[in-house]
Structure 1
């Protein structure tokens, strides 16, 4: 790289990477659960497939975060895109349970590889041009808003595409005997997402310059990654504020898993068919991501009004928990008022999580150094994936009704309560190679 990018260019490229990475996931959200049921999977099996995704991501989070800190952000992001391409293709075309499980595991590996490098690249680029005290919250909020917009657009298109084409369940026969039984209407959004992954990989390789790094040998990787992972594992133990960020990420994971598993079935039950249920769920998810994007956009302003990022996190997580509990309260009722309350709860959950996210990450980046930045983000994602997987397994065996929704709301409420006690919103600058300790 001939010189550091200016902050505006770095922010624009970071936003583009967010859009290209999360758009394929958005395309898969609405049809995924319903596609599995079309393939003959019971709800317990579906929760197992989602657990395969979450547990794979959790197992690989720290090693892949360390890999990014050792090898560089760009190469790891490109590998994430290639794994995402393979995962969406396998899930879209797979029929056997083991193939679907493999696809979800590949998707989890892609998620692990991608969880830290893009944001770490952005923070590194801004620090390179503006110094370590540069303002980060606005750029992080815009990246989160772009992520929400990509998820909203992808979810809406992914839910509507099978219905708009009107091809019916004989799509495989229309495309030829070789695809009969492989390509269902609900498969098409995932295959479109696989095509977007190709664009993501090409953009990452051409638009994300990095400072020259010494050539990494196998010995560097074998020795450097475990050391970075070890430092990552110490983050929560050594710093009380970082610990609260990580625990809050876990609480958000439990809430999001509950929504992802429970809403599609509730939508299909209301409409009567899988395809129409996917359309309704897509509309709901799109509205939810719009609410999340609004929360992302307002995150810096709410932090200023509330008196700091920590109070803004409390407001956001508390709002989200109230929304999920409201969904539980309306789970067994019907009517226009109930539907309006459920929609309010759904939007409140996403708005609250969107409000909390950029403020949490701003606090995190001010406590860690560039040498472990991607690893810190991987630890955060690890917490989200682990709690999400455990919550999903419990939700899958609970009886239908309010209880599964209330479980997710209680998990998120516990995360909000962590922020009642403030530890100060202006931490000291981190030491060159470690995270500062905190009495919190």
Structure 2
């Protein structure tokens, strides 16, 4: 098979990235409303969501190791198939048990697809051109993500506004369209994602699967060896906790300042779409800012700035101010992810890339769960504004972690050993 050029890899990555996120954009506006329409209560919806989070937490790192062991292409195709199955079940689900099954499939999908596409892009780009700078492509991927979700959200709203079509309810229409997009995404993966690997028969596949635990352990060992990598993974803990302040608490805060929950709900539809456009715009600015002050300082500044936007949401007294701060928050959110992922990829080689990316994603889930308990508890016991201020402080507190310097390390160079930059004797094996 002819190897891809760096330009071809870049183009295919953006196409596949857009196809991956378009179904998500279609589902976001109707996800909870559809479950309510089908008879679930809010506590049941919360339990179902917890099942999905637990599934992701348990499967994230092993599936990342699976991608490193058997290849990114088969794992991504399996992920797309799992999502298609979940959407097909979502169309007909009408009980708590069926929605739990939907969430389990969604958890499997998210665990499988978290990391392999980015890892394929980085490795394929470096294979085509070892001197290539892939951070710009990751940034453009963030732009595509925001545009795909914004377009999907707007299309979903339009489909709902059309009303029911025959036996299909207004809220079910976007799910069917999302399933069609998922079919296109699956076909795109089969046709566009080229991964040159040795021919794998059943024995090779079995051997690759047996490698998964060692690959996962290797990724975890990297955290012990690299202070920078450990710091970057730790950022995700703060980020996952603090995200509750602008994802979960913002609608409650908007209802407070708007004086009416229905008015706030009417605002959230178009505001959500614009927020993802702002996220895309923020991602587009990353390369210029990173070139100006460097990626680590850029990432640290974004943590502080995002905390400041959450402070503004907590303290501003009118809907216009809260919405403006929310849009600014999402612009910074969209800019933060590409620079964070670029720094992460620089710390790991291809053999453990998907595992480390999965580990980065995995730690956000328990942090988000803890953030939900703590911040919602503060909001209930005191005020929503105080809870948002705590979340803002946690977001900003992650900034210094981007500025961690490499610790002293042993490096072997052509038979010589160097300790923290100075020639010395080789370390003794213990």
Counterpart of 1:240 (choices 224, 227, 248) is 227
Confirm or deny: 8 A CA contact 1:320 1:412 kept in the other structure.
Answer: yes
Q: Say whether 1:327 aligns with 2:313.
A: yes
In the other structure, the counterpart of 1:95 is 94
1:269-288 to 2 correspondences below 5 Å = 280-288=267-275
Q: Say whether 1:415 aligns with 2:398.
A: yes
Counterpart of 2:371 (choices 362, 385, 391) is 391
In the other structure, the counterpart of 1:310 is 296
Confirm or deny: 8 A CA contact 1:31 1:278 kept in the other structure.
Answer: no
**Matched residues in 2 for 1:61 and 1:430: separation?**
33
Larger radius of gyration: 2
Confirm or deny: 8 A CA contact 2:254 2:319 kept in the other structure.
Answer: no
Confirm or deny: 8 A CA contact 2:20 2:185 kept in the other structure.
Answer: yes
Cα 1:404–1:342 shift into 2, 3 Å: same
In the other structure, the counterpart of 1:51 is 50
Confirm or deny: 8 A CA contact 1:366 1:429 kept in the other structure.
Answer: no
In the other structure, the counterpart of 2:148 is 150
**Matched residues in 1 for 2:412 and 2:371: separation?**
34
Deviation at 1:161, TM superposition (A): 2.4
Deviations 1:195-252 (A, max 9, x none): 1111111000011111122416353134211111111222323212112221222333
Helix, strand or coil at the partner of 1:30:
coil
Helix, strand or coil at the partner of 1:148:
helix
Confirm or deny: 8 A CA contact 2:253 2:384 kept in the other structure.
Answer: no
**Matched residues in 1 for 2:16 and 2:5: separation?**
17
**Matched residues in 2 for 1:190 and 1:259: separation?**
26
**Matched residues in 2 for 1:263 and 1:46: separation?**
19
Cα 1:393–1:205 shift into 2, 3 Å: farther
Counterpart of 2:163 (choices 122, 145, 166) is 166
Helix, strand or coil at the partner of 1:5:
coil
**Matched residues in 2 for 1:247 and 1:353: separation?**
17
**Matched residues in 1 for 2:31 and 2:84: separation?**
15
In the other structure, the counterpart of 1:358 is 338
In the other structure, the counterpart of 2:329 is 349
Confirm or deny: 8 A CA contact 1:57 1:382 kept in the other structure.
Answer: yes
1:42-121 to 2 correspondences below 5 Å = 42-121=41-120
Q: Say whether 1:191 aligns with 2:176.
A: yes
Deviation at 1:393, TM superposition (A): 4.3
**Matched residues in 1 for 2:30 and 2:53: separation?**
18
Deviations 1:306-364 (A, max 9, x none): 2x11100011121112222322334xx5xxxx112211221222122222222212211
Q: How many residues align?
A: 408
Deviation at 1:277, TM superposition (A): 6.5
Counterpart of 2:389 (choices 368, 385, 406) is 406
Confirm or deny: 8 A CA contact 1:239 1:438 kept in the other structure.
Answer: no
TM-score normalised over the length of structure 2: 0.85
**Matched residues in 1 for 2:245 and 2:104: separation?**
19
Confirm or deny: 8 A CA contact 1:93 1:187 kept in the other structure.
Answer: no
Alignment RMSD, CA only? 3.0
Confirm or deny: 8 A CA contact 1:50 1:389 kept in the other structure.
Answer: no
Q: Say whether 1:301 aligns with 2:281.
A: no
Confirm or deny: 8 A CA contact 2:52 2:103 kept in the other structure.
Answer: yes
In the other structure, the counterpart of 2:424 is none
In the other structure, the counterpart of 1:434 is none
Cα 1:43–1:417 shift into 2, 3 Å: farther
**Matched residues in 1 for 2:82 and 2:42: separation?**
26
**Matched residues in 2 for 1:287 and 1:103: separation?**
29
Confirm or deny: 8 A CA contact 2:27 2:156 kept in the other structure.
Answer: yes
**Matched residues in 2 for 1:247 and 1:230: separation?**
18
